[in-house]
Structure 1
């Protein structure tokens, strides 16, 4: 089936919108699971639902005409990144209307260096990931693939053409880095 995804991506790149639709239909359960994981960490009563998050990400992704899709993992990574952007945009809009600072996300599933699961402002998390990307793009990509994309160590290693041991080591460093970067938020 992996070959099918790659072919659909190539066909989409050539302008075949039905290939894009087949790809999204085939990946919808995985995209919805990613959305549920991302929203699952949000505060109680969060107004954005997983279906709406997937739909918004789909709209944004379908507007990316110039992207050179490589494979299913690349597509899922980009979808996870777009979902993160949607959540951050949503949090910023809410925080503009509220005095208390907006949306918070539990980062238990990132499993920070101290094992904390404190709530972190989603905009602060995004800012920390942007800073991590400037500091070390590979570690930031690992966080996106693991946390936002839901990939395993082995899948992440394959996506980055790296060894699982290297990914695991970089994942541990990235978690520690995020813990330090977000220390002021707790």
Structure 2
């Protein structure tokens, strides 16, 4: 007999927050698998001597996620928060690594709109992640949606189509905002 189909993550999250322990466990497995896949893809593109492992990144992000009290509205809301948690973990890790080196003269290449991800950052990952984080904080004050798109693309590695689905906007809007945010970030990062 085949196993029953897994309900969509939104349904699992809602049931888990309503107190359904089975849904909480099932949501945890689904979330963990998705976060692990994202972390593995990200860290697989990092420089060879990177010491942060996918499991450690997922565990730290997951611990921060389960500490959230706000109800999850849907899958998009959850992964938006997950993007923030992964970003915080990566930034905290980068700060620790940077404190050991203090080399802040890195430039982050944000070239091709369809292929920019953390693999484009280069061998100086810690400093690059910090530079992007600082610029992203500035962009967030100017245009929160563009900042969110960069966060989802750069720190989580989602495609433009996935971002459009999560933010419930058109792919054309995501593409346009991504291009504008990249241009703005390119100028900011050149000045850092």
Q: Quickly name the TM-score band, shorter chain normalised.
A: 0.7 to 0.9
**Of the candidates 72, 82, 92, which is equivalent to residue 89 of structure 1?**
92
* Contact 2:42-2:157 at 8 Å conserved across structures: no
Q: By how many angstroms is 1:183 displaced?
A: 1.0
Q: Give the 3-state SS of the residue equivalent to 2:8 in structure 1.
A: helix
**Of the candidates 50, 62, 67, which is equivalent to residue 63 of structure 1?**
67
**Of the candidates 29, 32, 40, which is equivalent to residue 28 of structure 1?**
32
* Contact 1:34-1:150 at 8 Å conserved across structures: yes
- Rounded to whole Å, the distance in 2 between the matches of 1:173 and 1:121 is 20
Q: By how many angstroms is 1:89 displaced?
A: 0.5
Q: 1:149 to 1:100 in 2, by over 3 A?
A: closer
1:37 counterpart = 2:24: no
Aligned equivalent of 1:77: 80
TM-score norm. by structure 2 comes to 0.78
- Rounded to whole Å, the distance in 2 between the matches of 1:150 and 1:18 is 30
Aligned equivalent of 1:169: 176
1:129 counterpart = 2:129: no
Aligned equivalent of 1:100: 102
Q: Which runs of 4+ in 1 moved over 6 A?
A: none
Residue deviations 1:68-96, cap 9 Å, x none?
Answer: 31222322222122111101111112223
Q: 1:131 to 1:40 in 2, by over 3 A?
A: farther
List gaps (5 residues or longer) in structure 1. none
List gaps (5 residues or longer) in structure 2. none
Tell me the C-alpha RMSD between the 2 structures. 2.9
- Rounded to whole Å, the distance in 1 between the matches of 2:72 and 2:155 is 18
TM-score norm. by structure 1 comes to 0.80
* Contact 1:61-1:79 at 8 Å conserved across structures: yes
- Rounded to whole Å, the distance in 2 between the matches of 1:16 and 1:94 is 40
